[in-house]
Structure 1
């Protein structure tokens, strides 16, 4: 029997809520289920195998909650786990369900923002080392020169709430300087981690007005809307009651709710879950 239920949105922590917020703004009628694997975050410095294992466990849990379609609103999971899930895991166990990522939709349009043809990409160590943005942008916009910069301290600072403090500015400026030093021609910078929009004001201040800073939320939301128009067989399986449910693998749900509400833009009440129960 085919699942009929909410759209699932997954992230290793709370950053994916910035994407969910944009999706809901464009597609408010659907039901949504959000899962943050905060108990095992951050993913950025973990191995391919570990990230695949964790992501697949979370995806299977969301399938068991009735989600027929899941968005990996996590660049690291999209870079290191999505291909294996789509090509190997789904055909074997969940052939009728779909899992989509955030890298391809972004790569399809990022070239439209740059006039110089030089784009900077800020991401986790895992996303940068995967080379996913280099490959995808080269496919859709081969004329674009991509400059990458890993920012390993940013997600821990954001997840802990320390990003608001002046001490965090040292790490923000450090990575931005390393990026812009790669090329004076960079005129567009992509925030290739869904946590980074919380640093957007500070990033814009240090980069200056001549460099555009691009987040992924609206891009991914527009891509999802287009996907659902092109795949009515999936769209018809999505329930439409306007509900939103939030889950986390961190047992301190009040702590999650406090930080998550800042990302989502309104108050969140979450439920703890152990995604490993019932995994194949």
Structure 2
């Protein structure tokens, strides 16, 4: 039986996480869906983000996925808790949906020596306060300074991040977070899009500041989860396949941009957002 791991993101960013997951767990089957037609999620309301995320999760369930990873910080911040505590109990308690915030918060404290961290994310992720709460839970002695970067995802999604004009906005938000405390020695990229501009970010920060992306962290957390939950691991099919879906009808454009995020050729299939609503 075909029972892949589902990977969801509002657009392209989750592909940076998917890349790390497939490097560490290459034998499994995967289905990725990017809700590009309705992206970006960062500035949308809690209810809208939950609705869109849950529609995509249900669609992945219908494709046979017993386990779905929300490879999206905004969805993890604003939809995951409701999905886990309410939606799954009504639909199918045996299925599982995991996010990227908790797995990151569990280890981010290990990166800092000054115990002061800057968190860069979308407006939705920052406003949710999810990282503040989760990091406080695991590392109560660490100070967290947040900074919303609302223009980064549009620049990245539209392929403008390598243009000279993008440098201004990269520096703008970095200056704002570093102004909050001179003791910040670790910057967490709390959006899966941001690894595409990681080199620009590092170039605009003091040399001693470490920049942490989430891909490898989330992948290692998934490996650990499957080891601890053999009842889920044994359900998953292992043929080494990957399927890509997008809600934009311009699949050629999706494939072009997705290949940059995934660092490998991508061939996608269109799934209408209207069809997701019917799930």
Common topology (TM > 0.5): yes
1:121-147 CA distance string (max 9 Å, x none): 000000000000000000000011000
CA distance in 1, matches of 2:241, 2:272: 22
Is 1:224 matched with 2:222?
Answer: yes
Contact 2:37 2:273 in 1 (8 A): no
Name 1:28's counterpart in structure 2.
Answer: 26
1:249-277 CA distance string (max 9 Å, x none): 00100000000000000110000002443
TM-score, with length taken from structure 1: 0.98
Name 2:90's counterpart in structure 1.
Answer: 92
1:191-245 CA distance string (max 9 Å, x none): 0000000000000000132100000000000000000000000001100000000
Q: How much has 1:120 moved relative to structure 2?
A: 0.4
Name 1:211's counterpart in structure 2.
Answer: 209
Task: State which of 185, 191, 194 in structure 2 corresponds to 1:193.
Answer: 191
Q: How much has 1:166 moved relative to structure 2?
A: 0.3
Contact 1:187 1:211 in 2 (8 A): yes
Alignment of 1:1-280 (within 5 A): 5-277=3-275, 279=278
Q: How much has 1:119 moved relative to structure 2?
A: 0.3
**Structure 2 segments unaligned to the other structure (5+ residues):** none
CA distance in 2, matches of 1:20, 1:113: 23
Contact 1:261 1:268 in 2 (8 A): yes
TM-score, with length taken from structure 2: 0.98
| SS of equivalent to 2:109 | helix
Q: How much has 1:94 moved relative to structure 2?
A: 1.7
Number of aligned residues: 278
CA distance in 2, matches of 1:20, 1:93: 26
